Amino acid sequence: MSRLSGKVAIVTGASSGIGRATAKLFAAEGAKVVVGARREAELAELVREIRAAGGEALALAGDVQSEQYAKDLVAAAVKSYGRLDVAFNNAGTLGPIGPSTEVAEADWNQALAVNLTSAFLGAKHQIPALLKQGGGSIIFTASIAGNTVGFPGTAAYAATKAGLVGLTQVLASEYGPQGVRVNVILPAAIDTPMYREFNDTEDKQKFLTNLHALKRVGRTEEVAKSVLYLASDDSAFVTGTAHLIDGGFSVTRT
């Protein structure tokens, strides 16, 4: 039996990168998937691919900074598929890059809204729907930045991603007794559009690649498999964890 057979999942940030790969894997493993992001055309193509492969999915475009959008995603899942079992709150932004003393307050606040507040708003409205099924799984996407390492010039990104770890721990403690598991993934360098934006030269890519024990960056499909584990009953006794997916970055000093 597929690991998410009969389950309904929300995936945000699904138009590209880790979110896209995870939505496709969830669907392949039997989940009915509600995919969200700002880019409507990319979501429509994702849904077409999932359906062509025999899966079930629907798209709802919107801005994760909006609490109404968080409500609407849950409502779409319940209206179309009758329930909600899994939520992968994955949407994020790189935010302002540069010396911390030069970060504008408006840019800081937007990074906070997209990376951290949106995750809180998502969980706020997902948890009641999960509780109606006797529990479920919530997964956030953080980063090694703000946990394992502090990259210069990424104050807003690192601070917001570190905040997701604290949010994970609190929600896991609050709702664990009611069957809701909450975990967060900590990827290192993964070959996504955001990675390529931040590492836009061969020298930067070579430097970052060498920081990993495996001497390569990760693939989105590899991250998706870890998210699937946290979403499925394979991780039934796992909650409140910060799950490293870092190719040995955290242990490498060569």
What confidence tens digit (pLDDT) does each residue in 113-172 have?
999 999 999 999 999 999 999 999 999 999 999 999 998 999 999 999 999 999 999 999
Type of residue numbered 46: L
Are the beta carbons of 37 and 66 closer than 8 angstroms? no
What does the DSSP 8-state code read for residue 115?
I
Are the beta carbons of 28 and 16 closer than 8 angstroms? no
Model pTM? 0.95
Query: What local confidence, expressed as pLDDT, does residue 114 receive?
Result: 98
Catalytic residues: 157
Phi, psi of 199 (to 5 degrees): -115, 80
Give residue-wise pLDDT tens across range 55-90. 999 999 999 999 999 999 999 999 999 999 999 999
Beta carbons within 8 Å of 135's beta carbon, 6+ residues apart: 178, 179, 180, 181
Q: What is the rounded CA–CA span in Å between residue 223 and residue 13? A: 14
Domains and CATH numbers, the chain: 8-189+219-245 (3.40.50.720)
Phi, psi of 218 (to 5 degrees): -85, 165
Identify each DSSP E strand in 126-254 by its residue range.
136-141, 180-187, 242-245
Type of residue numbered 182: V
Q: What is the rounded CA–CA span in Å between residue 41 and residue 132? A: 33
Residue-wise DSSP of 213-239 = TTSS-B-HHHHHHHHHHHHSGGGTT--
